[in-house]
Structure 1
Amino acid sequence: MVLATELARLRAESGWSLRELADKVGWDHSQLHGLERGRTLGGPEVIEALDTVYGTKPLLMRLWEIAKQQVVFRDKYVRYMELEAEASVIEHYAGSFLHGMFQTEAYARELLWSTPHLPSQILELEEQLASRMSRHELLLSETPPHLRAIIDEAVLRRPLLDAGEWRGQLAHIAEMASQPHVTVQVLPYSVGLHDLLGGLVTLLRCPDGSTAVWVESSKSGELFEDAREVEQLRLSYDALRDVALSPQDSVAFIEQVMEDSAPCDPPAST
């Protein structure tokens, strides 16, 4: 397991014993031993603590996420996560829900918890939530990927149940759009039908010049790496980019939706 190997290597280079490391991160040394031997994956809290102590953030959390996906998801999704971590440019279209990198914790929680589940599955959902939130670290690294997002108006018209949390989500998108390596465009209803309607499409351009495309629905996903299939999806994405609102107009659109969602003042009493 890559995560276990990396944890063992980092501790060996540090010269710390397991007990010394345990004192630094505040976790039992036996659990840390299990992580290094690949007997357990642990949770996001201990991995985050190790990332902080070793100064490797977000490397270990990304490796943990990939390892977790190997247990929970199919191999093609693991491949997608690996490509996302390597990509120098990420372009995506959100047709029905926001991409994970744009989701606030409140949005991600409501989306994850909408899946029918039992009380015994709450811990698993919490782990998925922590994993999704860790993806934000990719944009905060020293060399983040360039991120372009085309967000369908339908996504911006489907609010969270809590109006305050929804305005917070909209504000988060607008704030992200102000970053120099992030571009946000809104695709208004007025453009009509198009080839990528619904779901979520992500194009991953890697430093070696290759491109892969991930097409996702709420329950499944498909990874495309064949050049001809990728080119077809690339053309469909470019067509949307051409008719979407400009980045400046898109931020204004999002701010207007945010203003429209604000509670109205009660009428003055007479």
Structure 2
Amino acid sequence: MANIQSLDPSASPLDYYGWELRRQREAHGLKQGQLGEIIFCTGSLIGQIETTKKVPTRDFSERVDAALGTDGVFSRLAGLVLRSQLPPWFQPYAEMEAKAAYISTYQAQLVYGLLQTEEYARAVLATSKPDDLDGLLAARMERQRILEREQPPLAWAVLDEAVLHRPVGGTDVMRRQLARLLEFITHRWIRIQVLPLSAGEHPGLAGSFTVLRFDDHPDIFYTEDMMSGHMTANAESIREASLHYAHLQAAALSVGDSAALIACVMEERYGDPPEQGAVA
């Protein structure tokens, strides 16, 4: 007989998910392989998720809900599970980011997490050699769901031009990432400006930072270093950060000129993909 891992559903969101999945599956009289056939995956994957060896994706959760008639239970749990996969020091920021009405961010090194493609995010996250890259990646993609709300936060990102030139993940990944940024040009709730290298010295030289504003909560100023994040609602810090951000916006290219620069860098630095069958 197979050794069935005994889960404590109160230990973590992932443990509760695995415990509930096994409970619901058995209540429907299904073996792991049978449920796998219904939702188009392997029984092994079902077993790995039930024993917390794998993190469930949102797509997996939606298919389980449809198969077991659980009225969105697993889809709702997926959000909690995926958020719990974020580094502990980052989770408080992610929770506040999800509640923000307005996000102002300056990024000196990388594309802001909410705007990253999955390939770009994977390349970024892999640099820290995490134990579960797939789980961490799924958690980052889950953060982006706030942009799909009926009324998402107004997000304004100022990206240093260096972000466009840094080939994270290689040429193909960067080409698709810059194309993704251009898609946001027509998004009602997102604005992207590029701070050109010609701006010289500016208030953002100290590093990336983000200011979150809320309808019913004090503003929050957030920065992070290699090991942790730092979040404060100190009024003086917010005032100083807001002033710096205003200077950065003023020095940055307009939204239209920023889009033109992104398109230019995409074409000149990363080029178009070769036509199928083309000979080098």
Deviation for aligned residue 1:128: 0.9
Q: TM-score, normalised by structure 2?
A: 0.73
Aligned residues: 244
Measured in 1, the distance between the counterparts of 2:53 and 2:152 equals: 26
Q: Which runs of 5+ in 2 are unaligned?
A: 1-9, 66-70, 275-280
Letter in 2 for 1:201: F
2:56 paired residue among 40, 44, 51: 44
Deviation for aligned residue 1:157: 1.4
Answering whether residue 255 of structure 2 is matched by residue 224 of structure 1, we say: no
Answering whether residue 221 of structure 2 is matched by residue 175 of structure 1, we say: no
Change (3 A) 1:262 1:50: closer
2:160 paired residue among 139, 142, 152: 152
Letter in 2 for 1:207: D
- Whether the 8 Å CA contact 1:211–1:225 is kept in 2: the answer is yes
- Whether the 8 Å CA contact 1:91–1:149 is kept in 2: the answer is yes
Measured in 2, the distance between the counterparts of 1:261 and 1:152 equals: 16
Measured in 2, the distance between the counterparts of 1:182 and 1:174 equals: 11
Deviation for aligned residue 1:197: 1.8
Deviation for aligned residue 1:137: 1.4
After superposition, give the CA deviation of every residue in 1:204-232 in whole Å (9 maximum; x if it has no partner): 11121521111123443211111221111
Deviation for aligned residue 1:27: 9.1
After superposition, give the CA deviation of every residue in 1:31-59 in whole Å (9 maximum; x if it has no partner): 89x98xxx9596132x5433563458975
Answering whether residue 194 of structure 2 is matched by residue 186 of structure 1, we say: yes
Across the aligned residues of Structure 1 and Structure 2, the Cα RMSD in angstroms comes to 3.4
Measured in 2, the distance between the counterparts of 1:228 and 1:51 equals: 45
After superposition, give the CA deviation of every residue in 1:121-150 in whole Å (9 maximum; x if it has no partner): 5x5122111111222211112221111110
Measured in 1, the distance between the counterparts of 2:237 and 2:53 equals: 36
1:112 paired residue among 125, 130, 134: 125
Alignment of 1:1-270 (within 5 A): 3=13, 19-20=27-28, 23=35, 43-45=55-57, 47-51=58-62, 53=65, 54-55=71-72, 59-69=76-86, 72-74=87-89, 77-115=90-128, 117=129, 121=130, 123-197=131-205, 199-263=207-271
Measured in 2, the distance between the counterparts of 1:203 and 1:108 equals: 22
Measured in 2, the distance between the counterparts of 1:227 and 1:51 equals: 42
- Alignment partner, residue 268 of structure 1: none
Measured in 1, the distance between the counterparts of 2:201 and 2:227 equals: 23
Letter in 1 for 2:121: A
Change (3 A) 1:144 1:21: farther
Change (3 A) 1:3 1:148: same
Q: Which stretch has the larger CA shift, 146-155 or 102-111?
A: 102-111
User: Secondary structure at the residue paired with 1:171?
Assistant: helix
Letter in 1 for 2:257: D
Higher relative contact order (CA 8 A, sep 6+): 1
